[in-house]
Structure 1
Amino acid sequence: MPDRIAPGVRLLLCGINPGRHSFEQGHHYAGPGNRFWPALHAAGITPGLWAPERDVELPTLGVGLTNLASRWTRAAAELEAAELQRGGQRLLGRVAELEPRVVAVLGVGAFRIAFARPAAQAGDRLDARELVGDATLDLRPGAEVHVLPNPSGLNAHFPLAEQARLLRRAALAAGLSLQPPRGGRL
């Protein structure tokens, strides 16, 4: 699954890994039950409800997409801890390279494993430098990491409105220009 990143992205959204539909279609969050695109729209990040095929356009809004792991699975639980940990280090390398203002990791359980933070909760915000285990990695001061829930339909117990609220908070922290939130105040 190719990253959707361009120089100057302010908000880097990091998923866990592609599902089967995303892998087959070559676009992020393409599963029929995935709530990523509705949450992005409800948060005011996209001007309309975008189809997954428009993921290539997100960098024009200052938003990039990547994943902790590149192989597709039916469920994130099929990934090995070592895959997530390698993905966490790769993500920090991308943060050092691209210097986004905010990185939002979409998957609390995956975040806990990737960064050895077993107590992490949805809504947590950290300075990215707190996650660096390798002292040679130079991260820009002030880069924030936001922990968000996985938008997969398999994680439906987490309300769409709360997902949108946390995405909007991350986008505002990144300094993005947003549309009014959809569905009322977030």
Structure 2
Amino acid sequence: MVPPVTASVHRRDPVPDIIADDLDVLFVGINPGFASARAGHHFANPANGFWRLMHEGGFTQRRFLPSEGRELLAQGIGITNIVARETAGVKDLTREDFDEGRRILERKIARFRPKAVVFVGVTVYRAFRGDTSAITCGEQPERIAGARVFVVPNPSGRNAHYRYEDMLAFFRDAASQLYAHRG
């Protein structure tokens, strides 16, 4: 039996999970920024290309707005974060935040059983693994509770490591591998 998913009683979740049983894919961000927390929606900062990449990458038939996130469930797509609390940036997160978030995320994945988990950024995947080893974007060799694991670049406006076209290529590759059976 999988233990229940719980969060710290002293923290609120400013952006609720979009999650259900047996999703095709669960996207995992690092944590909500202030714009997302204010809006109450994932990837709500206009400088973040997540929603555009989801559509142009082949995960969705149309470009969704952050406020339409719950509609993704009907398409077998969910979104969560490794850390629920909002911050100005990843530098404001502590080791304790990541340790607690990793435990909660492991339970969510085991409980909801998505077919694939897509970590949105190398940093969030490193935080989940609890190590600082070199990680490249693309499909990873490990499975989490039976789910395939992918890493795509973080589409934050702060990510200067990838051009949009490069990010799009990773989103397209993940979508094509996950949806290859759909004809």
Same fold (TM over 0.5): yes
Question: Is 2:52 the partner of 1:38?
Answer: yes
Shift of 1:34: 0.4
- The one of 19, 25, 32 aligned to 1:18: 32
1:78-89 equivalent positions in 2, closer than 5 A: 78-89=92-103
Could you tell me which of 154, 159, 170 is aligned with 1:155? 159
> TM-score, length-normalised on structure 2?
0.82
The alpha-carbon deviation at position 2 of structure 1 amounts to 0.4
**Counterpart-to-counterpart distance in 2, 1:104 and 1:81:** 22
If the length of structure 1 is used for normalisation, what is the TM-score? 0.81
CA–CA separation in structure 2 for the residues paired with 1:14 and 1:87: 11
Three-state SS of the structure 1 residue aligned to 2:106 is helix
Aligned residues: percent identity? 33
* 8 Å Cα contact 2:29-2:124 kept in structure 1: no
Q: Contact 2:57–2:172 (CA<8 Å) still a contact in 1? A: yes
Instruction: Provide the residue aligned with 1:106 in structure 2.
Output: 120
2:81 maps to which of 63, 67, 70: 67
SS at match of 2:118: strand
Q: Does 1:117 align with 2:131?
A: yes
Query: Would the alpha carbon gap of residues 8 and 110 (structure 1) be closer, same or farther in structure 2, given more than 3 Å must change?
Result: closer
Amino acid at match of 1:170: A
Q: 2:75, 2:29 → 1: CA distance?
A: 18
RMSD, aligned α-carbons = 2.1
Q: For 1:90, what is the secondary structure of its paired residue?
A: helix
Residues 23-77 of structure 1: CA distance to partner in whole angstroms, max 9, x if unpaired? 0111110001001011111112222222111111111111100000011111112
Structure 2, unaligned stretches of length 5 or more? Answer: 1-14
Matched, 1:166 2:161: no
Contact 1:85 1:115 in 2 (8 A): no
For residues 176 and 27 of structure 1, do their structure 2 counterparts lie closer, same or farther at Cα, with a shift above 3 Å needed? farther
In structure 1, the partner of 2:10 is: none
Secondary structure of the residue aligned to 2:124 is helix
Q: Which runs of 4+ in 1 moved over 6 A?
A: 176-179
CA contact (8 A) 2:22 2:115 kept: no
Q: Structure 1: which 5+ residue stretches go unaligned? A: 130-138, 180-186
Maintained 8 Å contact 2:138/2:174: no
Could you list the per-position Cα deviations for residues 119-175 of structure 1 after superposition, in whole angstroms to 9, with x for gaps in the alignment?
Answer: 22222513224xxxxxxxxx23xx211122211111143122222222233333433
1:58 equivalent to 2:72? Answer yes
Q: Distance in 1 between the 2:139 and 2:21 partners?
A: 26
Number of equivalences: 168
Matched, 1:48 2:52: no
